[in-house]
Amino acid sequence: MDGPVFLTAPAGLAPAAAGRHGAAPWSLLCDRDGTVIENRSDYVRTPAHIRFLPGAVRALARATEAGVPIVLVTNQSPIGRGLLSLGDVVSLNRLVTDALSAQGVRIAGTYLCPHAPADRCSCRKPEPGMVRAAMDRFGLDPSRTALVGDSVDDVLAARRAGVQGVMVRTGRGAQHAVRLAALPEAAGTPVVADLAAAVERLGQIFHAAGDRSPAASAFRQETRRAEA
């Protein structure tokens, strides 16, 4: 496998280009392990390892309701390390997306990098290959697209692809925030508590950038109500 693997959305879920309020206010590329579900030092290898982080599903459901397209972008080196097969990882990811779907979250699709770090591929974050592939497939505007993750690699992938990056302190984020502060390439990257806080911050960022569409306004109102 030379490039990233694309996994289609669960049955019946098309790419969410718009919600009930009209055109999408912005687009969300989301890391998985450490951002949506718990990160494990020994990798997510069985269904029992899938545990959603507090508030993550609710945050993604609010984004879905407001018409924000969501694509998961995840490094899955257990494949390249020989610990899991591609089929194993596909099955585990489907459990994640099916569980999200049951809670009202629309995932447009998942990009995963199957390579080990030693493979030096162009898709494993911090390289921007998966981010660019997602933007190309779904026609996303980089000026209105963000990547949220818990590692320096997520932030660097965002920067190199020309999209907004946000780091969360869940997963490895608390430790990686220290490293992030020392990287000139990542200067100015917001660091927030969790995915819910990231979604809130991104609503503010894109509003400040001039997005005053009805969809963006409705998204911010829904987010404030959910936080109240």
- How crowded is residue 94: how many other Cβ atoms within 10 Å of its Cβ? 15
First to last CA, the chain: 46
Q: For the residues of 168-185, what is the DSSP string, one character each? A: ESTTTHHHHHHHHHT-GG
* The pLDDT value given to residue 206: 86
d(CA 30, CA 99): 16
Confidence of residue 72 (pLDDT cuts 50, 70, 90): very high
The catalytic residues are 31, 33
| pLDDT 10s digits, 131-154 | 999 999 999 999 999 999 999 999
* The pLDDT value given to residue 84: 98
d(CA 117, CA 124): 8
* Residue 54 identity (one-letter amino acid): P
Does the pLDDT value for residue 219 go beyond 60? no
- Domain of 112 in residue numbering reads as 5-227
Extract the tokens encoding 76: 């899955």
Does the pLDDT value for residue 214 go beyond 90? no
Does the pLDDT value for residue 228 go beyond 50? no
d(CA 213, CA 207): 9
Does the pLDDT value for residue 18 go beyond 60? no
Cβ-Cβ contacts under 8 Å for 31 (sequence gap 6 or more): 72, 73, 74, 125, 147, 148, 149, 150, 151, 154
Q: What is the mean pLDDT of the chain?
A: 88
Query: For residue 116, what is the domain's CATH number?
Result: 3.40.50.1000
Domain count of the chain? 1
Does the pLDDT value for residue 48 go beyond 50? yes
> Which residue matches tokens 């911090």?
126
Does the pLDDT value for residue 167 go beyond 90? yes
Q: Identify the sign of the CA torsion 166, 168, 169, 175.
A: negative
The CA-based diameter of the chain, rounded to the nearest angstrom, is 48
d(CA 129, CA 124): 7
* The pLDDT value given to residue 139: 93
DSSP-H helix ranges across 103-187: 129-138, 152-161, 173-181
* The pLDDT value given to residue 9: 79
